[in-house]
Structure 1
Amino acid sequence: MRNPGYAIALLILLAVQTSSAQIQDETGLVAPNAEVVKLGEGYSFTEGPVADPSGNVFFTDQPNNKILKWEAETGKISVFSDQAGRSNGMFFDNKGNLIACADEHNQLWSINARGKHKVLVKERDGKLLNGPNDVWVHPNGNIYFTDPLYARDYWKRTPEKQQDGEHVYLLKPGKKELIVLNSGVVKPNGIIGSPDGKNLYIADIGDKKIYRYVIEPDGTVSGRSLAAPMAADGITLDEKGNLYLAGNGITVFDKNARQIAHIPVRKGWSANVTFGGTDRRLLFVTAGDAVFGIRMNVKGAY
């Protein structure tokens, strides 16, 4: 096996810094002299990054209906699926399946290692979902996903809201009935949970805040508290419990909701973020028509 940093080191040698703005980092999260580098380009709109156990990162090119795979060892990018249901947010379950927010028909999918999918959720109370956006899988198999309304020009359905609200849902293993979480959010977007399964984080882009919840034994949530006082799209955690927010580049908050870092990525919106690489120290960012990475001193929570 190659040195874990081989592929990233090679890319850094070949890449140029993508932003003239300075990285702000109070606590040494970013590796010394690290720069944001472009890992791939030529897409329409990238989203949904998530790493497998080997550190390979799967991400979507939603308008082109593709899931792509960035290989941690080589840095190469290949097409994993070109019939991806217009997938948006994704997360691996404990069986190695990709759980994907398949936005084309407002469904939640499970995609196996061969790229074959099955539909987990296609409606609630006889109506289509608004548009599943992001998803996280609890260690016990419970699936949490957000369902805001962002009308798509490829929908064949009416663009109006289908459900009685823009909810966060819980789907338990082997069940078909969705449970609406009492989250109090206005418009949920990004979602992530702690690896120990005790806390859930929801980006409320409507309220311009990130909230933390306690996950109860029955899977519901309680004890809402402020995790970050700003809006975000996708979110993730590092091994220390710091929260990473995609939007204006990547902004990092500690456990006390205090901003401790900001990483400029590119002009315009950064949609989502995760950790990848063989050592889980590559911060991987989806942003517009490209994907980017920067070496970190910390590992991802996943």
Structure 2
Amino acid sequence: MSPAALSRRSLLLGGVTAAGLMGTRARAAAPAPLAQPPSVVSNPPRQWGPQAPAPYLPDPDIIALDPSFSNLVYGNANIRLAWRGGDWLEGPAWSTQGRFLLLSDTIRAQQYRYLWETGTVSVFRASSYNSNGNTFDAEGRLISCEHGMRRVVRWEHDGSCSVLADRYQGAPLNSPNDVVVHPDGGIWFTDPGYGDTIVEGHPDAPGGRANRMGRERWTEDGEVVAQFAGHARQDDHVFRIDPHTGELRAVLTQQQLAGPNGLCFSPDGTILYVISSGAGPGQDGPGGDQRIHAYDLKDGDVRNGRVFADMMLDGHQLGPDGMRADIFGNLWCGAGGPLGLCGVVVYSPAGRMIGRLRLPRGVSNLTFGGPKRDTLFMCAADALFTLVVNTQGAGLS
């Protein structure tokens, strides 16, 4: 199978079974011990959770591939399992004003809040319409991508909800995936068709990419499902919402970049990075090329597109999903792949892989947070991992 044909979700889940992480999900705030054996990626095998023995220092799963990476990590910090719960965690975003981390559960269609002071997790929004990517703008307002309602929304300070985008050229969007705010206030988001599945949003219509045989019912009772299920409405796009007029404009088409997924900006806002992911769950046919692409920005337009990183490690094609930049311009990217290779990979501004964090499962999305923005939060299926680093996140979230 070619790398382009691999499913993004299968790559992210590549190490789960072998790592013995398929035990009963923990619904309580406190993390539950993982099934044995907990991991085979460290020697001796690593255990996770509050009852695990004290981990070794320096952490054997923090791997420097270049001497420069040692300046970005803190030698006395360990990768930590902070919480297990939910089904599929995505869209971590740090609220500076609230001092909490917001998380999406795309399968349960809920949002969670991780409190910095206590490390406890509670339901933040009981019905989020299969939200995925989240970010906070400069005013502290939450912006969310909703698969189920095919829209991007902003939650105002008075509790009201503003719809920022739900249609393009007269047709509904697909399933907005990831969202970031540029320093100029422009809101950028990706709109692949990954929400056209039973699990993550709205079942695809008969004959669609995720329901070619037409056996999945997409007209079940319920106003939201009946209204929003069906074929993907658009080609895949990367969109920009103008901060002054609210105009929605496509800056990249499916022909220019297939399968757009995670995106972020360089610290100075002059470069846009976009991940091209593989086909979504249940979707037949080719997806993106599973690479990170870079574009120069000028006045809200993209130019000089090029491959920034091929996401190859030890001869294996990793599956990138979400990423964030630190203040030095390094890219921290969540990746799925074979057990022992999956986790987080870090690239220098020149596109050289300089280090990685080895986890027992692939990481879908990540962000920097904490009062100093020096804690890396990593979403990996139903688990949230953290690591204190010697750098800080760039941008708003």
TM-score tier after normalising by the smaller chain length: 0.7 to 0.9
Partner SS, residue 148 of structure 2: helix
Q: Which amino acid is the alignment partner of residue 269 of structure 2?
A: G
1:280 matched to which residue of 2?
Answer: 373
CA distance in 1: counterparts of 2:381 and 2:149, whole angstroms: 23
RMSD: 2.4
Instruction: Please tell me whether residue 65 in structure 1 is matched to residue 109 in structure 2.
Output: yes
Deviation at 1:158, TM superposition (A): 4.7
Partner SS, residue 232 of structure 1: strand
1:4 matched to which residue of 2?
Answer: none
Instruction: Please tell me whether residue 160 in structure 1 is matched to residue 203 in structure 2.
Output: no
2:353 matched to which residue of 1?
Answer: 259
Instruction: Please tell me whether residue 44 in structure 1 is matched to residue 87 in structure 2.
Output: yes
2:25 matched to which residue of 1?
Answer: none
Deviation at 1:235, TM superposition (A): 0.6
Uncovered stretches (5+) of structure 1, i.e. residues with no partner? 1-11
Name the CA shift for 1:224/1:193 in 2 (closer, same or farther; >3 Å). same
Deviation at 1:114, TM superposition (A): 6.3
Aligned length: 288
User: In the TM superposition, what are the counterparts of 1:78-97 in structure 2 within 5 Å?
Assistant: 78-97=122-141
User: In the TM superposition, what are the counterparts of 1:83-162 in structure 2 within 5 Å?
Assistant: 83-113=127-157, 116-150=160-194, 151-153=196-198, 154-155=201-202, 156=225, 157-162=228-233
1:192 matched to which residue of 2?
Answer: 264
Q: Which amino acid is the alignment partner of residue 197 of structure 2?
A: R
Q: Which amino acid is the alignment partner of residue 120 of structure 1?
A: L
Name the CA shift for 1:122/1:32 in 2 (closer, same or farther; >3 Å). same
What per-residue deviation string (whole Å, max 9, x for no partner) do you get for residues 165-184 of structure 1? 21101111254542111462
Q: 2:301 aligns with which of 220, 234, 246?
A: 220
Contact 2:366 2:379 in 1 (8 A): yes
Q: Which moved more, 1:141-150 or 1:14-23?
A: 14-23
Q: 2:343 aligns with which of 235, 249, 254?
A: 249
Deviation at 1:85, TM superposition (A): 2.4
Deviation at 1:13, TM superposition (A): 9.7
CA distance in 1: counterparts of 2:93 and 2:384, whole angstroms: 13
Q: Which amino acid is the alignment partner of residue 223 of structure 1?
A: N
Contact 1:81 1:115 in 2 (8 A): no
2:326 matched to which residue of 1?
Answer: 238
Deviation at 1:38, TM superposition (A): 1.3
- TM-score, normalized by length of structure 2? 0.68
Contact 1:18 1:265 in 2 (8 A): no
**Percent of residue pairs identical:** 32
Deviation at 1:194, TM superposition (A): 2.5
Name the CA shift for 1:158/1:61 in 2 (closer, same or farther; >3 Å). closer
Contact 1:152 1:159 in 2 (8 A): no
Uncovered stretches (5+) of structure 2, i.e. residues with no partner? 1-47, 203-224, 278-287, 312-318, 336-341
Structure having the higher strand fraction is: 1
Contact 1:18 1:37 in 2 (8 A): no
CA distance in 1: counterparts of 2:158 and 2:116, whole angstroms: 19
Q: Which amino acid is the alignment partner of residue 162 of structure 2?
A: K
Partner SS, residue 203 of structure 1: strand
Deviation at 1:14, TM superposition (A): 3.9
What per-residue deviation string (whole Å, max 9, x for no partner) do you get for residues 226-248 of structure 1? 32212410110111110011122
CA distance in 2: counterparts of 1:148 and 1:15, whole angstroms: 40
Q: Which amino acid is the alignment partner of residue 329 of structure 2?
A: G
Q: Which moved more, 1:16-25 or 1:249-258?
A: 16-25
Q: Which amino acid is the alignment partner of residue 103 of structure 1?
A: H
CA distance in 1: counterparts of 2:237 and 2:123, whole angstroms: 32
CA distance in 2: counterparts of 1:62 and 1:113, whole angstroms: 24
CA distance in 2: counterparts of 1:116 and 1:79, whole angstroms: 19
Contact 1:236 1:244 in 2 (8 A): yes
Instruction: Please tell me whether residue 210 in structure 1 is matched to residue 210 in structure 2.
Output: no
- TM-score, normalized by length of structure 1? 0.88
Instruction: Please tell me whether residue 298 in structure 1 is matched to residue 391 in structure 2.
Output: yes
CA distance in 1: counterparts of 2:302 and 2:120, whole angstroms: 40
Contact 1:18 1:38 in 2 (8 A): no
Deviation at 1:161, TM superposition (A): 2.4
Contact 1:18 1:266 in 2 (8 A): no
